[in-house]
Amino acid sequence: MSADANAARMKRKAYEKELGKLQVELCYLQEWVKSNKLRVIVLFEGRDAAGKGGTIKAITEKVSPRVFRVAALPAPSDREKTQLFLQRYMQQFPAAGEIVIFDRSWYNRAGVEYVMGFCTPAEHKRFLSLCPQMEKYIIEGGIILIKLWLEVGMDEQERRFEARIDDPLRQWKLSPMDLESYQRWYDYSRARDLMLKATSTKHSPWYIIRSDDKRRARLNCIAHLLKLIPHKRMKKSEVKLPKRSNKGRYNDQTGLRRMTFVAERY
């Protein structure tokens, strides 16, 4: 990557300042969703190393996991392979007052399953045909459905994969499937184009986020998410800590003296 490209990346201080503002707004959204018993699904798709995990972490970092719930499903079990394709995903759908974030979703069938041959061409074609109808049914059932695709460039993806190889904190992110997807860049590009053409509809469009600069991508994503879910700040009653009762007062540290404490190394 060129020096100019690196210089154009958003600085950490500016990023953290803007992220803080957006995370406050996410907390306001959280209260609105709870109060109005909304049901929201947010799908995150994109190439490997596009920054899905970091973006989801930025969204969920300051909110309640009881409202913002992340669904990152593993590969299907032998039993799940015999179910209707969408069945295991529907089990994760939100109840009233919940936002479910899918870190990859049923669109696996349009991406990795299709490219790697885990489904047949007929199954892939049927999925692309039926998916818009299924999503229309979900939306008509009262669920807000938001589909986000993070698009990383070829050079930036290579840089991120290279960075994972020698970093013990990120090596776990580099799987054999990632290496296979790296080789098949254009196969994934064609699969992406087929998916977007078939499933970006008026009632359920795809929103594309360029993610070569992870910080800008996270901010743009959160800002867009907040825009797509109209909300207002809830008026909350003033909270004051009550006075502690001295009833039954005793030295509550005495009972800990014979217990084993963790060594204070830091």
pLDDT at 196: 98
Distance between CA atoms of residues 91 and 69, nearest Å: 13
User: Residue 2 pLDDT > 60, yes or no?
Assistant: no
Q: pLDDT tens digits for 188-219?
A: 999 999 999 999 999 999 999 999 999 999 99
pLDDT at 80: 94
pTM beyond 0.75, yes or no: yes
User: Residue 113 pLDDT > 70, yes or no?
Assistant: yes
pLDDT at 111: 96
User: Residue 1 pLDDT > 50, yes or no?
Assistant: no
Residue 153 is given by DSSP the state -
Distance between CA atoms of residues 128 and 123, nearest Å: 9
pLDDT at 73: 96
Measured between alpha carbons, how far is residue 64 from residues 29, 40, 50 in Å?
A: 11, 15, 25
Mean pLDDT along residues 135-156: 97
User: Residue 259 pLDDT > 90, yes or no?
Assistant: yes
Q: Is the CA virtual torsion 112, 118, 121, 122 positive or negative?
A: negative
Distance between CA atoms of residues 29 and 34, nearest Å: 9
Residue ranges in the chain assigned as alpha helix (H) = 3-8, 12-35, 52-60, 78-81, 87-90, 112-115, 121-140, 154-165, 176-183, 185-199, 214-228
Give the CA diameter of the chain. 72
pLDDT at 236: 84
Mean pLDDT of the chain: 94
User: Residue 235 pLDDT > 60, yes or no?
Assistant: yes
Here the tokens at position 35 are: 């109060």
Q: pLDDT tens digits for 49-84?
A: 999 999 999 999 999 999 999 999 999 999 999 999
With beta carbons less than 8 A apart as the criterion, state whether 187 and 113 touch.
Answer: no
Here the tokens at position 193 are: 């184009």
82 exposed, middle or buried (CB, 10 Å; 0-12, 13-18, 19+)? exposed
pLDDT at 46: 97
**What CATH number does domain 20-234 carry, 3.30.70.100, 3.40.50.300, 1.10.340.30, 3.40.50.460?**
3.40.50.300
User: Residue 264 pLDDT > 70, yes or no?
Assistant: yes
Q: pLDDT tens digits for 161-194?
A: 999 888 888 888 888 888 888 899 999 999 999 9
